[in-house]
Structure 1
Amino acid sequence: GPPCLGLLPCSGFTPAACPLLEYTGANYEEKVYHFGDAPDFDKSQWLDVKFSLGLDFPNLPYLIDGDHKITQSSAILRYIARQYNLCEKVRTWPQGKLPPYQLMANVSFFLSQEVLKIEYLEQLPGQLKLFSLFLGKWTWFAGDKITYVDFLVCDVLDQNRKFDPCCLDDFANLKAFLDQFEGLSRIAAYLASDRCQPYPIFAKIACWGNK
């Protein structure tokens, strides 16, 4: 059967996997696991099957493609990229270098701690400047052809743009990059379809991006 992508109904926990699969034109299925409402946020729908899927490191998201069973978002992206010749060739992307996603997640889950939000927004321009300088005048982040890296970066930039709509105002090349990416025919079709669910970004337990 087609590859199966297991995920939560939160765009922040499936970074770039769906857009990448859509871009390749791959036939794939989604298995969405829903958590319950407050106060318990029941996770039994996932926990009941977590250790029965044959995953080496059971977690969400996962990708099952025949005998290949993969967890961890970046590993899933690299696996898909290898299948469709979308790995870096001209420039090597420094692994792990993204606007501080974990800090953003912390802010989103503990937004009542206003100091976290202030700290995040204070350091964000410096992080985005590094991305702007790395992209420079290149068309894509890893060279002159699109790679899985662009899907990963686009996802994180878009989440930051939702958190702070003005955060890219001083970075014309990053805004142009997002416009170019979202204008790709298959990506534009996906973004306009009911398969694309930009919200919620995080799980129900979060204080921001949970609706």
Structure 2
Amino acid sequence: MCVCVCERVSVSGGRSAVCLCLEKALGLASCPALKGGAERCLPNPRPGPPLVYYKSLSGGARSEILIRAYPTIFHHAYRPGLLGYPRAPDFDRSQWLDVKFNLGLAFPNLPYLIDGDKKITQSNAILRYIARQYNLCGETEEERIRVDMLENHVMDIRMQLARVCYNPNFEVMKIEYLQQLPGQLKLFSLFLGKCSWFAGNKITFVDFLVYDVLDQNRKFEPSCLEKFSNLKEFLHRFESLSSIATYLASERCQPYPIFAKMACWGNK
């Protein structure tokens, strides 16, 4: 099985192409994305399940962490900086526009995922599709309810920070944002409680999303988590997972930029 997740986005003349193939066994699979402009498709030379980030302008910030850590993931078309916001000099919108309506996508958009005859757009739909393959959506009804609520709440919080960072009145907006941030973090802290993970005692895809948002906010304001010990413990627990630790220590980890270059913060 080959799952190709492709994204080509432009910001003021930049361009990036990402092709990620999720396979059941080692080896190079035929990647439909190559026909759509991805530069190359190479098997990950290192075994193991790294976590892969991808960027999307739809949220204006570092995109949701896609669940590609369990149990087997191969990262294709990687080169340093490829996962950052695009500034490549060879940007050409035709690389996407020429194939946009020829891929059989119901709602042509970026990113998109092709897995055999399954073709999916929209970030959260792709995220859930991958998570379902590895039972990362919650096992009980209570867990699934928690997953569903948190998935949408995380998007709200992500967009709040993005709106601040893209606002020309950034310095004023930042003060207002930081004033309300403790209240938002308190809700996350209460929701997590004494559990190891946000849906309960087993990791789900929303833990990747929450990690991403909390990590962005501690970069924005390093002291913001000081009063929330369980959130700090959650971040440490997540970063200590072997596959995540391997990824974070690798050159493939690109903490910045979080936002596109027109943002007032996190753009470099």
Global fold match (TM > 0.5): yes
Residue in 2 aligned with 1:14?
63
Q: Partners in 2 of 1:26 and 1:192 — Cα distance? A: 17
Q: Given the two structures, how large is their TM-score scaled by the length of structure 2?
A: 0.68
Please say which of residues 200-209 and 178-187 is displaced more in the overlay: 200-209
Q: Deviations over 1:24-72 (max 9, x none)?
A: 32235358696458xxxx7725445433433222333322222222222
Residue in 2 aligned with 1:161?
218
Identity, % of aligned positions = 59
State yes or no: 1:177 paired with 2:234. yes
State yes or no: 1:102 paired with 2:159. yes
Distance 1:159 1:47, change over 3 A: farther
Question: What is the DSSP-based 3-state SS (H/G/I as helix, E as strand, rest coil) of the residue aligned with 2:74?
Answer: coil
* Residue type of the alignment partner of 1:25: T
Residue in 1 aligned with 2:107?
57
Question: What is the DSSP-based 3-state SS (H/G/I as helix, E as strand, rest coil) of the residue aligned with 2:262?
Answer: coil
> Does structure 1 retain, via aligned residues, the 8 Å contact 2:164–2:174?
yes
Distance 1:47 1:164, change over 3 A: farther
State yes or no: 1:131 paired with 2:185. no
* Residue type of the alignment partner of 1:26: I
* Residue type of the alignment partner of 1:125: P
Question: What is the DSSP-based 3-state SS (H/G/I as helix, E as strand, rest coil) of the residue aligned with 2:253?
Answer: coil
> Does structure 2 retain, via aligned residues, the 8 Å contact 1:55–1:69?
yes
Structure 2 unaligned spans of 5+: 10-15, 17-53, 56-60
Distance 1:78 1:169, change over 3 A: same
State yes or no: 1:82 paired with 2:129. no
Please say which of residues 200-209 and 22-31 is displaced more in the overlay: 22-31
Residue in 2 aligned with 1:151?
208
Q: Partners in 2 of 1:207 and 1:60 — Cα distance? A: 24
2:76 corresponds, among 1, 21, 29, to 29
Question: What is the DSSP-based 3-state SS (H/G/I as helix, E as strand, rest coil) of the residue aligned with 1:22?
Answer: coil
Compute the RMSD of aligned alpha carbons.
Answer: 2.6
Question: How many residues of Structure 1 are paired with residues of Structure 2 in the alignment?
Answer: 206
Question: What is the DSSP-based 3-state SS (H/G/I as helix, E as strand, rest coil) of the residue aligned with 1:69?
Answer: strand
* Residue type of the alignment partner of 1:2: C
Q: Deviations over 1:11-35 (max 9, x none)?
A: 5343111xx2034322353586964
Q: Partners in 2 of 1:28 and 1:58 — Cα distance? A: 23
Q: CA deviation at 1:167?
A: 1.0
Q: Partners in 1 of 2:264 and 2:215 — Cα distance? A: 19
Distance 1:186 1:204, change over 3 A: same
* Residue type of the alignment partner of 2:4: C
Structure 1 unaligned spans of 5+: none
Q: Partners in 2 of 1:160 and 1:128 — Cα distance? A: 10
